[in-house]
Structure 1
Amino acid sequence: MKGGRMMDNSTMIANLSEPNLETSGPPSILYYIMGFWALGTGTTGFLANILVILVFCITPKLRTPFNYLLMNLSACELVISVTGNWLLAANSFSRRWLLSARACQVNAFGMTYLGILSIVTLTVLAIQRYMMITQDRQFPLSTNLSTCMTLVLIWVYTLAIALPPFLGFGEFGLNTLKVSCGVVWDFNINADHYKVEYMVYIYLLGFLIPLMIIFYCYTKIMKAVKSSGMNGLLENDAKRRAKRRRDRKITNMVAIMLAAYLITWFPYAIVSISEAAGYKPYSSLTFAIYALPTMLAKVCVCLDPLIYFGFNPQFQDEVRKYWNKQVINLEVSFQGSKETPRAPSTLVSPATEFIEATSVV
Structure 2
Amino acid sequence: MIKVGVIGYGYSAKTFHIPLIETSEYMELVAINSSQKELVREQHPNIAIFDTAQALITSANLELIVITAPNNVHYSLAKLCLEHGINVVIEKPMVTTSVEAQELVDLAKKQGLLLSVFHNRRWDGDFLTVKKLLKNNQLGDVRYFESHYDRFRPTVRQRWREQAGKGSGIWFDLGSHLVDQAINIFGLPEALTARCLPLRANSQTTDYFHVQLHYENLEVVLHASSFSAAPNMRFRIEGTKGSFIKYGFDPQEEQLKKGISPVNSLYGVENEENYGRLYTEFSSTAIETEQGCYKQYYLEIAQAIKLGGCNPINPADAVEVLKILELAEISSESGKKMMISLAKNYEGLK
TM-score range, shorter chain: under 0.3
TM-score (norm 1): 0.25
Structure having the higher helix fraction is 1
Structure having the higher strand fraction is 2
TM-score (norm 2): 0.25
| Structure having greater relative contact order (Cα 8 Å, sep ≥ 6) | 1
